[in-house]
Amino acid sequence: MNGYLLDANVALIAGVRSDSLSRAVRRAIQRGPCWLSVVSYWEVVLKSTKGKLNVGETERWWRDSLELLAARPLPLTAEHVSLISHLPRIHEDPFDRALIAQAMTDELTLVTTDEHIPMYASVRCRVVR
């Protein structure tokens, strides 16, 4: 695959304050193609049901985010899950670790606002922040 995997925070910010994203992140979104993982959707649903995040109806947020970002949905596969256990323990967030594994497996550049994810940058993991 080719393109950019957007983390949940990028999708959330792009929907309300895209000008606050870094120039590099905005360029990646414009350049595309962009992917939005079901892992990010899962994270938003969990945080919404716990009252930690308010996006309104989560199903609508998902559809609107895909449309706004001209993104394709990326499913989570067994291959992605297998790679998670081989990642160094730099970052403990399970959603971000899944996104890192997806980006590495599918040869996508991970687009994030997270300060820890760039520590995974390597030949196998390209990161834009």
Assess contact for 32 and 65: CB atoms under 8 A.
no
Assess contact for 35 and 5: CB atoms under 8 A.
yes
- What is this structure's pTM? 0.95
- CA proximity to 97, closest of 88, 10, 107, 25: 88
Q: What residue type is assigned to position 3 of the chain?
A: G
Question: In this predicted model, what pLDDT tens digit does every residue of 3-33 receive, in sequence order?
Answer: 999 999 999 999 999 999 999 999 999 999 9
| pLDDT at site 50 | 97
Number of structural domains in the chain: 1
Q: What is the mean pLDDT of residues 48-70?
A: 97
**Is residue 123 over pLDDT 90?**
no
CATH assignment at residue 107: 3.40.50.1010
> What is the C-alpha separation between 16 and 64, in angstroms, rounded?
12
Question: In this predicted model, what pLDDT tens digit does every residue of 33-56 receive, in sequence order?
Answer: 999 999 999 999 999 999 999 999
Question: In this predicted model, what pLDDT tens digit does every residue of 97-115 receive, in sequence order?
Answer: 999 999 999 999 999 999 9
Domain membership of residue 81 as a residue range? 4-128
